[in-house]
Amino acid sequence: MSKERARRRAERLAVLEKEKAKRARSVARRNRRRALVRSLTPRRRGVGRLHRRGRGERIGIVVVPVLLVAAVWVLVPDLALRLVLSAMLVLVVPALVVVVLGRR
């Protein structure tokens, strides 16, 4: 009777060892796959709204409105009209950036 129990226990342990080895192989395979995917996906260098655009786009977003405001202040003689046009530019530029450069 004890020999039979020992044999059954040995069979159970053998089955458990096979399952354990199979599980270890699948975990290792999953980890290798995750490491491969992680190595192939690009890393985001910056976070925030300005880092979503390239350097040239960021420079354009800053320089073009400044040039437009400077042109308004040089070319428009009336002070009230200068102030209104400058305020309109400040309000309109974000919408133009979204429309012209597009959202990503």
Q: Tell me the DSSP string of 32-86.
A: HHHHHHHHHSPPP---SSGGGS-HHHHHHHHHHHHHHHHHHHHH---HHHHHHHH
Domain that holds residue 16: 1-41
12 and 36 both lie in a single domain = yes
**Among residues of the chain, what percentage have pLDDT more than 70?**
89
pLDDT at 67 over 90: yes
34 and 10 both lie in a single domain = yes
28 and 3 both lie in a single domain = yes
The torsion angles phi and psi of 47, rounded to 5 degrees, stand at -125, 160
Q: What is the pLDDT of residue 1?
A: 77
66 and 35 both lie in a single domain = no
Q: What is the pLDDT of residue 96?
A: 86
96 and 69 both lie in a single domain = yes
When divided into structural domains, the chain yields a total of 2
Residue whose tokens read 């458990």:
16
96 and 79 both lie in a single domain = yes
pLDDT at 30 over 60: yes
Q: What is the pLDDT of residue 101?
A: 79
pLDDT at 47 over 70: no
pTM over 0.75: no
